[in-house]
Amino acid sequence: MPRHRFTQADVAAMAGVSQSTVSFVLNGSAPAGVRISDETRSRVLEAIRITGYSANPLAQRLAGGRNQILGVFTYETTFPRGGHDFYGAFLNGVEHAAERLGVDILLFTSARVIDGKRRLSRDGWQRLGIADGCLLLGQHEDQGELQHLLDTNYPFVFIGKRVSEGRLLPYIGADYVAATARQVDRLVADDHRRIGYAGLQGSDQSTLDRLAGYRQAMRTHGLPLQFVDLHDVATAAEEIAERGITALLVTPENSPEEIAAALEARGLNVPQDVSMLILGQPLHPVKGSRRWSGFTVPREEMGARALVLLSRIVDRENANGRAQNGQPLDDADLHQILPCPDADGDSFAPATASDRIETEGPIRDRS
């Protein structure tokens, strides 16, 4: 026999009070001018105990103007396959922040996939309405969708630096420019002068920032830019040897183990002959591999800060333009760039005496 689910009306009838009184007792507060006596409160609580009534949490939240649910939407597959885990650290930070804030996280996974990428267009917009706001992650976002969210004033925060007209798009990013430039400085301080950059030269923001950091630092030190194509690592290793490159900045989507093996097959050892610094640490580390020098991306902190910022934006919207703590959100709040700490591994060594050659002539790009 199906069990009868007691309602708030059942509790009110048993206690001899109105449903609004039951609601006030459940919420622990009453409107100004409304007083609930201790005796009435006790009757309501006893009726709740006898019936085993539990409030519908979604209904309670809606009554307060918020669902207390914040969404997460990723433009690429969220869960790792074959050890490929790009989002894990971000989501760990999001989860920890959600626990502190007392909100639930809803992961949106049913959006349409177009050309291998998720899209919010069509029915995706309606699904977002379940949440008070949403975190967005991904390397291949749709600019039109981001602009639509801005136009409709839907609260969201992008995890990763993103630019928009009028700097309206809120984000939590990593300082790839300064971190990459700092790796060049570290190498130059140890007498490296032929420093290559190995990685994609795409149009996504993190790639653009890494490239900007490399270009700026190399020009500051008066050194020529040297780009290495890693589509064929064996060919790349041969090119590194021919150019006499003594240090290599490697972007994290590449396999540093594979590059090191190709260099060793060419008779070059890491780091004695070629130092390797990873611009963000490997996304898919190999068990038992060496500790790579370079810098790390504060992914967990980015996820946590993004959720805190999103919560503040939602509170601001509910408070007619003011954040919950009474302070308006300024540009420093909406556009946060976090430092990337250096990683001291064992893939970095000073240049040998024979390699300490000052480069002369005009700076030029080599690709």
- The DSSP symbol for 152 reads T
How many other C-beta atoms are found inside a 10 Å radius of the C-beta of residue 330?
A: 8
Among the residues of 202-350, which ranges form H helices? Answer: 205-220, 233-243, 256-265, 299-318, 331-334
pLDDT 10s per residue in the chain (367 long)? 344 567 788 888 999 888 888 888 877 777 767 788 889 989 999 988 887 776 655 555 545 556 688 999 888 776 655 555 677 889 999 999 999 998 999 988 777 777 767 777 666 666 777 888 999 988 778 888 888 888 888 899 999 998 877 778 999 999 999 999 999 999 999 999 999 999 888 888 999 999 999 999 999 999 999 999 988 999 999 999 999 999 999 998 888 999 999 999 999 999 999 999 999 987 666 777 789 999 999 999 999 999 999 999 988 766 554 444 446 788 889 999 999 999 999 999 999 866 655 444 444 444 4
Same-domain pairing of 108 and 148: yes
What residue type is assigned to position 238 of the chain?
E
CATH number of the domain encompassing residue 46: 1.10.260.40
Element (H, E) at 104: strand 104-108
Place of tokens 């939407």: 73
Query: What residue numbers bound the domain in which 21 lies?
Result: 8-55
Handedness of CA 69, 74, 75, 79 (dihedral sign): negative
Q: Quick one: 81 and 208 in the same domain?
A: no
Task: Give the number of C-alpha atoms closer than 13 A to the C-alpha of residue 245, restricted to the C-beta side.
Answer: 25
Looking at the structure, do residues 180 and 266 belong to the same domain, yes or no? yes
Are both 348 and 229 inside the same structural domain? yes
| Residues 217 and 266 both lie in one domain | yes
Burial of 141 (0-12, 13-18, 19+ CB in 10 A): buried
Residues 263 and 347 in one domain: yes
What's the number of domains the chain is made of?
Answer: 3
Q: What CATH number does the domain containing 197 carry? A: 3.40.50.2300
Residue 279 and residue 201 in one domain: yes
Other CB atoms within a 10 A radius of the CB of residue 56 amount to 11
Rounded to two decimals, the pTM is 0.76
Q: Which amino acid is at 191?
A: D
What is the total residue count of the chain? 367
Give the separation between CA 104 and CA 95, rounded to whole angstroms. Answer: 9
Q: Tell whether 149 and 288 lie within a shared domain.
A: no
The reply to whether 253 and 272 lie within a common domain is yes
Does residue 106 fall inside a structural domain?
A: yes
Q: Is residue 44 part of a domain?
A: yes
Cβ atoms 310, 355 nearer than 8 A: no
Tell me: do 199 and 347 sit in the same domain: yes
Asked if residue 133 lies in contact with residue 155, where contact means CB atoms within 8 angstroms, the answer is yes
Residue 331 resides in a domain: yes
